[in-house]
């Protein structure tokens, strides 16, 4: 089985590679980033995206030196750092990128911003509303960026195309958004911290942060109300604090109704780590995104099915759209702009996510 297929079967190590013409936004050596913390495999995707956009990798640090060495074998331009301080004191490093354990992300991000660098971290980015407030205050004080990798929107070409269609008005006014996000558990390969909500945040924080961020973005909302949320542990009694199912109902400040379902029940027979789908109802058209696979039809992802007054349409956009977020993030760091994503949006997505987790009713199991 090829490395690409293996990654697609395991969401933890899934690292999209753009198959079209890579568009680098800066010359080699113009923008440098370093990595601290390799606890989650999303660091592979985050690094891929930045390198494809022209960034230069400098230092890699993890408390497990063997992990850092292995990472630098994959990304040969990186050099193993002996300590966090090597990275934090490096004048050439503009951006620190991290997939350290979730409960350590906020404290690391605060350190990074205090030394005058921007921070790009895997979701969920923070685990409490107090964390959100600490980040907000330091962002305002220092002018530094604390950006979260919401890969299910920014690192899926069909999701990027959907955003363009919404922004252009092709769907009309958005009325309703439904997001289904099943994931494959691969239980035996998960570290112990993964099953501990004190360290990983619970299912609505871990997976749900992706979906709530998408809902805000697709509904052009500044905020949203949590109507209700629930979580359950249906199939993992040996991990009593773990949540393998969750759902949340939302209402955006733009009047859009939203529903998100997340779970760890992807069957072994599916040819991807999850059959992620988004259903969007607009006043002019309806749209479905099939992100990673078209079940029993195509092993490829990036499908869009939409219907408008002219008829029924199907697009498959792998290699045609790209991942503009990473280039925009680089330019934002250099120019102090907010084209890729705004700080307010990042913090609001996490605020709503954490509210949903805190308010969730525990059922079943």
Query: What is the per-residue pLDDT for 176?
Result: 98
CB 221 within 8 A of CB 351: no
Domain 153-323+353-363, what fold? Dihydrodipicolinate Reductase; domain 2 (3.30.360)
Q: Residue 96 CB: number of other CB atoms within 10 A?
A: 27
CATH 3.30.360.10 residue ranges in the chain?
153-323+353-363
Task: From first to last of the 365 residues of the chain, give the pLDDT tens digit.
Answer: 334 444 566 656 676 777 767 789 999 999 999 999 999 999 999 999 999 999 999 999 999 999 999 999 999 999 999 999 999 999 999 999 999 999 999 999 999 999 999 999 999 999 999 999 999 999 999 999 999 999 999 999 999 999 999 999 999 999 999 999 999 999 999 999 999 999 999 999 999 999 999 999 999 999 999 999 999 999 999 999 999 999 999 999 999 999 999 999 999 999 999 999 999 999 999 999 999 999 999 999 999 999 999 999 999 999 999 999 999 999 999 999 999 999 999 999 999 999 999 999 999 76
Task: Return d(Cα 210, Cα 266) in angstroms, integer.
Answer: 17
Query: What is the per-residue pLDDT for 17?
Result: 78
Query: What is the per-residue pLDDT for 23?
Result: 83
Task: Return d(Cα 215, Cα 219) in angstroms, integer.
Answer: 6
Query: What is the per-residue pLDDT for 19?
Result: 74
Domain 3-149, what fold? Rossmann fold (3.40.50)
Query: What is the per-residue pLDDT for 7?
Result: 57
Query: Peptide bond preceding 124: is omega within 30 degrees of 0, i.e. cis?
Result: yes
CATH 3.40.50.720 residue ranges in the chain?
3-149
Angle at CA of residue 110, ends 104 and 116, nearest 5° = 140
């Amino acid at each position: 089985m090829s490395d690409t297929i293996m990654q697609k079967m395991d969401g933890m190590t899934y690292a999209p590679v753009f198959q079209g013409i890579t568009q680098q936004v800066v010359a080699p050596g113009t923008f440098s980033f370093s990595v601290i913390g390799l606890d989650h495999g999303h660091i592979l995707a985050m690094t891929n995206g930045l390198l494809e956009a022209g960034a230069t990798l400098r230092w890699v640090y993890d408390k497990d030196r063997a992990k850092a060495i292995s990472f630098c074998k994959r990304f040969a331009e990186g050099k193993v750092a002996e300590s966090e301080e090597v990275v934090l004191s490096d004048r050439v490093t503009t951006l620190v990128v991290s997939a350290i354990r979730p409960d350590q992300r906020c404290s690391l991000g605060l350190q990074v911003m205090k030394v005058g660098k921007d921070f790009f971290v895997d979701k969920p980015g923070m685990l409490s509303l107090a964390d959100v407030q600490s980040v907000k205050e330091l962002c305002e004080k220092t002018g530094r960026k604390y950006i979260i990798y919401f890969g299910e929107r920014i690192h899926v070409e069909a999701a990027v195309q959907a955003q363009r269609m919404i922004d252009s008005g092709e769907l009309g006014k958005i009325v309703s958004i439904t997001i289904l996000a099943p994931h494959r558990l691969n239980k035996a390969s998960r570290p112990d911290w993964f099953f501990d909500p004190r360290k990983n945040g619970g299912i609505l924080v871990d997976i749900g942060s992706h979906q709530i961020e998408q809902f805000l973005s697709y509904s052009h909302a500044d905020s949203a109300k949590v109507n209700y949320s629930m979580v359950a542990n249906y199939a993992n009694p040996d991990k009593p604090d773990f949540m393998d199912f969750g759902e949340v109902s939302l209402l955006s400040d733009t009047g859009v109704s939203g529903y998100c379902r997340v779970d760890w029940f992807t069957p072994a027979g599916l040819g991807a780590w999850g059959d992620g789908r988004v259903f969007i109802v607009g006043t002019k058209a309806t749209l479905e995104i099939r992100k990673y696979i078209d079940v029993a039809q195509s092993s490829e992802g990036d499908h869009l099915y939409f219907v408008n007054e002219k008829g029924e349409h199907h697009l498959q956009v792998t290699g045609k759209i790209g991942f503009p977020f990473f280039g925009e993030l680089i330019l934002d760091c250099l120019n102090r702009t907010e084209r890729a994503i705004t700080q307010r949006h990042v913090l609001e997505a996490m605020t709503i996510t954490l509210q949903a987790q805190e308010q969730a009713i525990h059922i079943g199991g």
